[in-house]
């Protein structure tokens, strides 16, 4: 019958503007299915590139609205989950909002003139907030009563494979969005250690996550930098295999909305060397707890300490213990016991 819609438990409206977001949304949908829900993804189609963040967010919000509306013409979900606050800005129907960081934090000044007030209205109207961290909820600046509508569910992380016997890569960094990730500061720290002779012979810094074109657009050149190798964008398992070979994961983000790359590095046995950064940086308190000497504004000094750490095996073991709340099995349990009831869905028997 024309106009009839299929019943569905959960419709996930996925912005999918980055590889990380797409992967996270696919994983979220898979875990919901494993918990017993029927789930479909409504994936926004990439809009044309525009020049400002305000217009970029508008284009993606419109794309998410179209994807949601097209899906809602076909299905009748018990609940809708919008992935990111941008996906929810122009929603065709209210739903839960899953987010790492709000525009209130990552769209300051003129960059978020229209997004911030509309985001606040959407977060206030949403029946369920699903921040990836408590810091993300705090940064949204909602009244204390909003905590009753929130359920913090982090991204799952676990080791990607068996650790290699000998870690032959000194350091690795993830440079998707090189300016935001502070790649230049990482390169400066590496160069400083080279000049003072504090790097062993053949030591190598691997730069992953950004193509040569993206590095060039960000004004970063790796030419003439000895001991620095770019591997560009890699499939997930290939990238994680490099983490298992690396002694240190080093980064200097100007702002960190979550820090999943750092969490994956910890899961795969890297020591995390980082500068502090504004934003709901979930890996930062873990890094400080593991070894506060590896966290600081003097990145070169922290990197030198990481590369000469007296007990990397002990650090890695404690990192595994610190990541237990982020294990897929634990998050799967919480989805079944805590999330599905709040979405009005019965968990699998």
| Arithmetic mean of pLDDT, 37-60 | 95
Q: What is the CATH number of the domain that holds 320?
A: 3.40.50.2000
pLDDT of residue 164: 87
Q: Residues 112-118: contacts with CB within 8 Å, 24+ apart?
A: 112/53, 112/54, 112/57, 113/54, 114/54, 114/58, 115/54, 115/57, 115/85, 115/86, 115/89, 118/89
Q: Is residue 123 part of a domain?
A: yes
Mark whether 62 and 189 lie in a shared domain: no
Q: Is residue 162 part of a domain?
A: no
Mark whether 150 and 282 lie in a shared domain: no
Residue 4 confidence class, pLDDT cut points 50, 70, 90: confident
pLDDT beyond 70 at 1 = no
| Arithmetic mean of pLDDT, 63-67 | 98
| Residue 225 to residue 227: CA distance in whole angstroms | 6
- Tell me which residue of 238, 251, 291 sits closest to 171, measured CA to CA: 251
Q: Is residue 193 part of a domain?
A: yes
| Arithmetic mean of pLDDT, 272-299 | 98
Mark whether 184 and 148 lie in a shared domain: no
Residue 281 confidence class, pLDDT cut points 50, 70, 90: very high
| Arithmetic mean of pLDDT, 205-228 | 94
Between these two residues, 147 and 326, which has the higher pLDDT value? 326
Mean per-residue pLDDT of the chain: 95
| Arithmetic mean of pLDDT, 70-76 | 98
| Arithmetic mean of pLDDT, 296-316 | 97
pLDDT of residue 347: 74
pLDDT of residue 252: 98
Mark whether 34 and 148 lie in a shared domain: yes
Q: Is residue 332 part of a domain?
A: yes
Mark whether 173 and 45 lie in a shared domain: no
In this prediction the pTM is 0.94
Mark whether 184 and 318 lie in a shared domain: yes
Q: For the chain, how many structural domains are there in total?
A: 2
pLDDT of residue 224: 87
pLDDT of residue 53: 92
Mark whether 31 and 173 lie in a shared domain: no
Residue 2 confidence class, pLDDT cut points 50, 70, 90: low
Q: Is residue 240 part of a domain?
A: yes
Mark whether 128 and 211 lie in a shared domain: no
Residue 349 confidence class, pLDDT cut points 50, 70, 90: low
pLDDT of residue 228: 97
Q: Is residue 163 part of a domain?
A: no
Q: Is residue 31 part of a domain?
A: yes
Domain range holding 76? 6-154+327-342
Mark whether 136 and 183 lie in a shared domain: no
Mark whether 128 and 218 lie in a shared domain: no
pLDDT beyond 90 at 200 = no
| Arithmetic mean of pLDDT, 114-128 | 96
- Hey, which residues does 251 pair with through a beta bridge? 274
Mark whether 287 and 321 lie in a shared domain: yes
Q: Is residue 17 part of a domain?
A: yes
pLDDT digits (tens, 9 = 90+) for 240-249: 999 999 999 9
Mark whether 75 and 137 lie in a shared domain: yes
């Amino acid at each position: 019958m024309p106009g009839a819609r299929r019943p569905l438990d959960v419709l996930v409206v996925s912005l999918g503007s980055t590889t990380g977001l797409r992967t996270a949304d696919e994983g979220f949908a898979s875990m919901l299915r494993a918990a017993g829900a029927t789930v479909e993804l409504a994936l926004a189609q990439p809009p044309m590139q525009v020049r400002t963040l305000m217009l970029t967010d508008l284009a993606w919000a419109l794309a998410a609205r179209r994807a949601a509306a097209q899906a809602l013409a076909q299905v009748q979900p018990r609940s809708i989950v919008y992935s990111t606050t941008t996906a929810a800005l122009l929603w065709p129907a209210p739903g839960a909002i899953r987010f790492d960081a709000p525009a209130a934090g990552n769209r300051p000044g003129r960059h978020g003139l229209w997004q911030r007030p509309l985001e606040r209205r959407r977060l206030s109207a949403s029946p369920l907030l699903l921040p990836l961290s408590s810091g993300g909820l705090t940064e949204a600046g909602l009244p204390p009563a909003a905590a009753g509508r929130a359920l913090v569910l982090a991204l799952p992380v676990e080791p990607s494979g068996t650790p290699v016997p000998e870690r032959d890569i000194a350091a690795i960094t993830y440079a998707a969005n090189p300016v935001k990730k502070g790649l230049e500061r990482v390169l400066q720290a590496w160069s400083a250690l080279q000049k003072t002779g504090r790097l062993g012979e053949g030591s190598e810094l691997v730069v992953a996550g950004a193509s040569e074109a993206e590095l060039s657009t960000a004004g970063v050149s790796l030419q003439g930098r000895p001991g620095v190798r770019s591997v560009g964008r890699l499939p997930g398992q290939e990238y994680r295999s490099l983490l298992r070979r690396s002694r240190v994961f080093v980064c200097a983000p100007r702002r960190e909305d979550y820090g999943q790359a750092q969490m994956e590095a910890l899961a795969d046995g890297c020591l995390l060397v980082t500068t502090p950064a504004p934003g709901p940086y979930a890996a930062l308190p873990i890094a400080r707890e593991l070894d506060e000497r590896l966290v600081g504004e003097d990145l070169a000094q922290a990197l030198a300490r990481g590369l000469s750490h007296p007990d990397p095996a002990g650090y890695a073991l404690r990192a595994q213990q610190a990541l237990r709340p982020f294990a897929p099995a634990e998050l799967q349990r919480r989805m079944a016991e805590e999330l599905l009831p709040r979405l009005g869905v019965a968990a699998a028997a």
